[in-house]
Amino acid sequence: MFDETSITSTLDVDPLPQPEVRLFYLAMKRLFDVLMSLALLPVLLVSAVVLLALNPFVNPGPLLYKQPRMGHHCCAFMALKFRSMQPVEQITRGADDPVETDRIRPFGGVLRKTRLDELPQILNVLRGDMSLIGPRPDYFHHARRFVRQVPGYRERHSVRPGISGLAQVEVGYVQGVDATRSKVRADLFYIENAGFQMDAWVFWRTLCVVIGHKGL
């Protein structure tokens, strides 16, 4: 359960009500996204080379996985990931269905636990599809259902989606319409209280999650 009170008391959050202040924040956020993504490009390149060598033995199939996600203003974009699951021709899992854990290969599980599977999304950040921090984008066909059935879900797309976000570190992985409501609460809280302090908090909590190898 997402608890706004604990976050507020910890951060003493101060929203950015003045338009000029918010514009400065957004400009600096974009600059940070680009510079950090450029700095991570060598890591992405080395990781890709290593995985290309290992995949035939531990994770046969394509190196990259592409999936349409719902992004800024509810527009679709193609999110990139290092593939961690056995490839299929078409996704059949519904919005309320559990994750197909039987398709996650052992080595793919390592990629997911360490979040290395998300590394190619720095290319999405450089393209402007995503930010390093923001609401996590959902599979587009599931998201269209959430837009219709989850209050506030459309509004969470008023900013660029992120590789990590407040919902990911405070709520965790959720699936289905009902659980998505809790995620939306966290995402809207992030948007309403956006600022350097909030982003720093999410960045720190993301490091804790990665170091703790939490999540799918």
The tokens for 40 are 């991570």
**Rama region for 168: left / alpha / beta (φ>0; ψ in -120 to 50; rest):** alpha
Range with the poorest average pLDDT among 25-34, 94-103, 112-121:
94-103
More confident residue, 99 or 52: 52
Residues of the chain above pLDDT 90, percent: 62
Report domain extents, the chain: 4-211
Which residues contact residue 167 at a Cβ distance below 8 angstroms, ignoring those fewer than 6 apart? Answer: 2, 135, 136, 174, 182, 183, 184, 186, 187, 190
Average pLDDT over residues 188-212: 90
DSSP 3-state of 103:
helix
